[in-house]
Amino acid sequence: MKTTEKRAALFEGIVTEVTGASYLVTSGDEGVSRCRTFAGTKTENEDSSLVAVGDRVSVKPTDSGSDMHEGVITMVHRRHSVLERKRDVRRNRSKEKVQVIAANLDLLVVVVSALEPPLSPRLIDRYLVFAESEQLDALIVVNKMDLEDTDETRQTMQLYETLGYRVLFTSSMDPVSILALREALAGKIAAFSGHSGVGKSTLINQLIGTDRLKTGETSMKSGKGVHTTSSAVMESLPGGGFVIDTPGIREFNLSGITRDNLRFYFREFSRFLPDCTYSSCTHTVEPGCGVMRALEAGYIDSSRYDSYLLLHDSIDDENRTA
């Protein structure tokens, strides 16, 4: 016979998993509860997903006779940061223009692979621009170093270290690298993002000490990753903190970032912006551009500037198709 427990009239917790219309909410006092929303659920966040992994929510307990605690989410509290992507309006009937993948992050972990799929500095730059726009710390993890531990790989990443980003080189075959990653995440809410197939789920399984998350192989035909994560999942880390596995994102949309503000999210540009003749300088064609002068003098890396130009053009295209 099920034991009747006295539960709080209302409690607060954090959403650790989203499956369809069902949400797992973890609270220090109540443990894990299976929850749902209803027509009266309120939110302090507008024009985006109602509930996402990482959200802090208020819950009213319900008694359904289940062995698991259940409840109704009454309020979704304001997010201080989000990992999001634009919805494809051609394929999705939702009125929400932005899909929130994860909320209230302390750290964005950009996972790339040394090989299979190949290392992609362009994708790294997109994520770093997002992290800068959200004022999020970023950690770059180069995984699968057991497949391609070369001087070229390490030299490519040296640029990011020079810019002040922390870079870790990992392999699921190397316990020392996993320990270093676990120490870097301690006490934080961290989201893992990157292409499918770079090994995010495998790394998280190593970090939490169990094969809770499904893993997959890289497609031999396309060289790209095979999707194994269909929705974000938050896992607690031994010693404190949480890690969120997110769906692989092949085309990461920079929601909320415009051509006008993109320049502020390349951190090496910042000290040269006051040298531009025009306050609205795009750093592409204008005479008297401080950024382009710094580029010519070797103070700005040409590959990062090329990334800026590509993003500058693609943002306009993304905004037109959103």
pLDDT digits 0-9 by tens, 83-117: 877 665 555 555 556 678 889 999 999 999 998 88
Instruction: Specify the CATH class of 262-321 in words.
Output: mainly alpha
Q: Which pLDDT score is estimated for 216?
A: 44
Query: Would you say 69 and 30 are in contact if contact means Cβ atoms under 8 Å apart?
Result: yes
Residue range 300-320: mean pLDDT, rounded = 85
Percentage of the chain exceeding pLDDT 70: 81
The third-level CATH classification (topology) of the domain covering 84-92+98-245 is Rossmann fold (3.40.50)
Work out the burial of residue 282: count CB atoms within 10 Å of its CB; fewer than 13 is exposed, 13-18 middle, 19 or more buried: middle
Q: Using CA atoms, how far apart are residues 295 and 269, in angstroms rounded to an integer? A: 10
Query: Would you say 143 and 171 are in contact if contact means Cβ atoms under 8 Å apart?
Result: yes
Of the candidates 245, 120, 235, which has an alpha carbon nearest to the alpha carbon of residue 193?
245
Q: Hey, what are 297's tokens?
A: 């003098």
Q: Give Cα 56 to chain centroid, integer Å.
A: 17
Domain boundaries, the chain: 11-79, 84-92+98-245, 262-321
Q: What are the CA-CA distances from residue 276 to residues 17, 45, 260, 268, 269 (Å)?
A: 47, 37, 14, 14, 11
Query: Would you say 45 and 8 are in contact if contact means Cβ atoms under 8 Å apart?
Result: no
Residue range 184-201: mean pLDDT, rounded = 90
Of the candidates 74, 24, 32, 28, which has an alpha carbon nearest to the alpha carbon of residue 52?
24
Q: pLDDT class for 48, splitting at 50, 70, 90?
A: confident
Residue type, 38: F
Percentage of the chain exceeding pLDDT 90: 60
Q: Using CA atoms, how far apart are residues 72 and 264, in angstroms rounded to an integer? A: 41
Q: Say which residue, 52 or 230, is predicted with more confidence.
A: 52
Q: pLDDT class for 218, splitting at 50, 70, 90?
A: very low
Q: Using CA atoms, how far apart are residues 76 and 208, in angstroms rounded to an integer? A: 27
Residue range 235-251: mean pLDDT, rounded = 76
Of the candidates 46, 49, 53, which has an alpha carbon nearest to the alpha carbon of residue 23?
53
- What does CATH list as the number for 11-79? 2.40.50.140
Q: Hey, what are 145's tokens?
A: 């170093």
Q: Say which residue, 238 or 301, is predicted with more confidence.
A: 301
Of the candidates 32, 15, 31, which has an alpha carbon nearest to the alpha carbon of residue 23?
15
Q: Using CA atoms, how far apart are residues 47 and 84, in angstroms rounded to an integer? A: 12
pLDDT tens profile 154-164: 999 999 999 99
Of the candidates 208, 191, 192, which has an alpha carbon nearest to the alpha carbon of residue 200?
192
Q: Hey, what are 71's tokens?
A: 């409840």
Q: What are the CA-CA distances from residue 18 to residues 28, 40, 201, 282 (Å)?
A: 19, 19, 17, 40
Q: Hey, what are 77's tokens?
A: 């509290």
Q: Which helix (H) or strand (E) holds 245?
A: strand 242-245
Three-state SS at 95: coil
